[in-house]
Amino acid sequence: MSVTDTDIPPNTPLQVVVFTATNNHTENCGPPPDWLTTPWAKGERRAYFQNCHGEQWIASCTKDLFRITGGDIGWETREVRIPCYENPQYMFRALELVFNGPEAQWLVAVWAAQQ
């Protein structure tokens, strides 16, 4: 049985995977957190960053919560809630992580996309 355009109601999002990434980090970093494979919350956005060294970061944000994890921090999840989340500079401090230039630019873009 095949699906045609007439079988799909208008404005129905197609529930297909559009992106996957392989964990580039060693076993010493531990496994990525479970929230990376759970269904997304309403209004949630997720973003992926990988630099030229293969270091990976994944962010999740909603209007109230910003989460980030990465192999460089052993796939630990860091979270920031409002009000720190309202300004990217406060968010960086609250995460208690050091980001290089490209990582910081990516985080600001992720933050701005949720605003």
Task: Outline where DSSP puts E strands in the chain.
Answer: 45-50, 56-61, 65-70, 77-81
- Look at strands 77-81 and 65-70 and give their pairing: antiparallel
pLDDT of 42 reads 86
CA-to-CA distance for 106 and 98, rounded, in angstroms? 13
Every domain of the chain and the residues it spans = 40-115
Tens of pLDDT along 49-69? 999 888 999 999 888 888 999
pLDDT of 1 reads 47
Per-residue pLDDT of the chain (115 residues; tens, 9 = 90+): 454 555 666 666 666 777 788 888 888 888 889 888 888 888 888 999 999 888 999 999 888 888 999 998 999 999 988 766 667 777 778 888 888 899 989 988 888 887 7
Task: Pull the structure tokens for residue 104.
Answer: 């910081």
67: left (phi over 0), alpha (psi -120 to 50) or beta: beta
Query: Burial level of 56, CB count in 10 A (0-12/13-18/19+)?
Result: buried
pLDDT of 5 reads 53
